[in-house]
């Protein structure tokens, strides 16, 4: 019988998209940073940008161009109002979309917020061998996404498979 795999810590950046949040009242971004660190990963950067597709793309593009960043978590700007543009900002940067993430997130969110989950445009994908997760701005949504989906997929010990196992092959 083989020994269990050792946990592999990843470098994760957190982006909060908001026209009104500051570092002191960024509940979702700060919750994600803490969750990342509590899980054993490294939060190597965290920033807040306005809900502007070009500011979002600039922040995310710098992280996906940085070979030391494994994952980007963004929170905010996924609704349907005029200022919500995070999916439009990030989707063009993706090499591949992971459709199952948004689908599963909305199924899980239904348990808490019922049909309001249809307003969420959460998504995930891969860009330049970096995983990106686009989450709604509420702390509850971030907690659901992290605890029910993301944390297990970013744990190389999760079986039968996980996203970490695929990292060496993302640039093939």
Q: What residue numbers bound the domain in which 54 lies?
A: 11-169
Q: Is the pLDDT of residue 2 over 70?
A: no
Establish if 6 belongs to a structural domain: no
Structure confidence at residue 5 (pLDDT): 84
For residue 115, the cross-strand partners are none
Establish if 76 belongs to a structural domain: yes
Contact 37, 43 (CB under 8 A): yes
Contact 124, 147 (CB under 8 A): no
Backbone angles phi and psi of 86, in degrees to 5: -65, -45
Q: Is the pLDDT of residue 153 over 90?
A: yes
Q: Which residue has 């990963």 as its token pair? A: 41
Structure confidence at residue 123 (pLDDT): 97
Average pLDDT, the chain: 96
Residue range 13-39, pLDDT digits in tens: 999 999 999 999 999 999 999 999 999
Q: Percent of the chain at pLDDT above 70?
A: 98
Establish if 30 belongs to a structural domain: yes
Structure confidence at residue 167 (pLDDT): 96
In the numeric block, which tokens belong to residue 22?
């500051």
Q: What angle do CA 162, 163, 168 make, to 5 degrees?
A: 120
- Work out the pLDDT band at 1, boundaries 50, 70, 90: low
Number of domains, the chain: 1
Q: Is the pLDDT of residue 62 over 70?
A: yes
- Work out the pLDDT band at 66, boundaries 50, 70, 90: very high
What's the N-to-C CA distance of the chain in angstroms? 31
Structure confidence at residue 69 (pLDDT): 98
Across 130-152, average pLDDT: 98
Q: What CATH number corresponds to the domain at position 35?
A: 3.40.980.10
Establish if 1 belongs to a structural domain: no
């Amino acid at each position: 019988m083989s020994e269990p795999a050792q946990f592999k810590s990843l470098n994760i950046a957190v982006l909060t998209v908001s026209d009104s949040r500051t570092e002191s009242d960024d509940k979702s971004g700060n919750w994600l940073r803490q969750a990342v660190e509590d899980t054993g990963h490294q939060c190597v950067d965290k920033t807040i940008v306005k809900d502007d597709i070009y500011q979002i793309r600039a922040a995310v593009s710098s992280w996906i161009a940085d070979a030391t960043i494994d994952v980007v978590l963004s929170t905010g700007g996924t609704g349907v109002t005029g200022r919500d543009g995070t999916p439009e900002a990030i989707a063009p940067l993706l090499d591949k979309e992971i459709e199952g993430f948004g689908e599963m997130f909305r199924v899980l969110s239904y348990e808490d917020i019922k049909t309001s989950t249809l307003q969420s445009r959460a998504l995930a994908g891969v860009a330049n061998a970096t995983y990106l997760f686009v989450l709604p701005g509420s702390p509850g949504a971030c907690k659901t996404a992290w605890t029910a989906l993301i944390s297990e997929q970013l744990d190389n010990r999760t079986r039968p498979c996980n996203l970490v196992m695929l990292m060496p092959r993302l640039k093939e």
